[in-house]
Amino acid sequence: MRLKLTISYDGRAFEGWQSQAGNNTVQDHLLKALAETAKEPVRLQGSGRTDAGVHALAQVAHFDAPDHLTMNPYNWVPALNTKLPAAIRVLQCEEVAADFHARFSATGKTYRYDLCTDPILSPFKAGFAWHVPRLLDAGALVEALDVLKGTHDFRGFAANRGNETPETDYVRTIHAADLETLPDGYRITFSGNGFLYKMVRLLTGAAIHSAQGRLRLGDLARLLDQPPELPHGKSPLCAPADGLFLQEVRYGE
């Protein structure tokens, strides 16, 4: 039986999503809890990686429950949560079709990025917002976000992961890049059909630079749709992991 997990985590405590030596990633903790519950090793496929310090409101992953286990899907939720650190919670477990794939079936994602513009970053926001107490023009930020929307080749807003090939497809569509006012700053919400490595942080950094008057809109636009021969990571600024939350992974139409 293939099961889909919806998972929330406070990224501050972990070395990102992806399993690695040291075993302090979100996937590592989930694999351990899954193996303890299933009494055998289980493979777990996430919708995509999140970096160290990046948070998730609703990350998605799938696994195949061993045939001998007759547990109801919803019983996996407490079974896993009692074995997980409090900074990781499984919110939901549901049966899905055998061909469901957390990564390849995903049709879109939403990320949000929180900015704190107060002169002092509250202890309760430390690690959860990028502290930008410098002058920030909200109108200019909206204009910059508008420039970034649409279907583009985003290689100028992708960090190199090392597995790129000449066939790597950098074209993505950003449906929404919205600004919302918070009591102590702003929230940017990006929705798109997919995001490249560090793309949300690079888009956010560039938009902030623009809103601070350090990057003109025309120059921001010229970072889009760069020809293949241009180097990666040309964006002027990568926003820190702190303010970034994976908010939703969408499947289906």
Q: 138-148 and 199-211 are packed helices; what angle lies between their axes, rounded to 10 degrees?
A: 140
Q: How many CA atoms lie within 13 A of 26 on its CB side?
A: 33
Report, in Å, the least distance between residue 250 CB and a second copy: 21
Closest CB to a second copy among 123 and 231? Answer: 123
Q: Contact 128/205 with Cβ under 8 angstroms?
A: no
Closest CB to a second copy among 93 and 179? Answer: 93
Closest CB to a second copy among 126 and 138? Answer: 126
Q: Contact 250/106 with Cβ under 8 angstroms?
A: yes
**What's the rounded Cα separation, in Å, for the pair 212 and 23?**
40
Q: Match 């999140």 to its residue by tokens.
A: 50
Write out the residues near a second copy by the rule CB under 8 A: 8-10, 55, 77, 81, 86-91, 120-124, 126-128
Report, in Å, the least distance between residue 113 CB and a second copy: 16
Report, in Å, the least distance between residue 204 CB and a second copy: 20
Report, in Å, the least distance between residue 9 CB and a second copy: 5
Closest CB to a second copy among 119 and 231? Answer: 119
- Active site residue ranges: 51
Strands (DSSP E) found in the chain: 2-9, 45-46, 55-64, 88-95, 106-116, 130-131, 150-153, 171-182, 185-192, 244-251
**What's the rounded Cα separation, in Å, for the pair 205 and 203?**
6
Closest CB to a second copy among 6 and 47? Answer: 6
Q: 226 φ, ψ to 5°?
A: -75, 145
Per DSSP, the residues of 154-184 read -GGG----S---TT---EEEEEEEEEEEETT
* Nearest by Cα to 44 from 55, 34, 52, 58: 34
Report, in Å, the least distance between residue 111 CB and a second copy: 16
* Nearest by Cα to 101 from 232, 242, 223, 249: 249
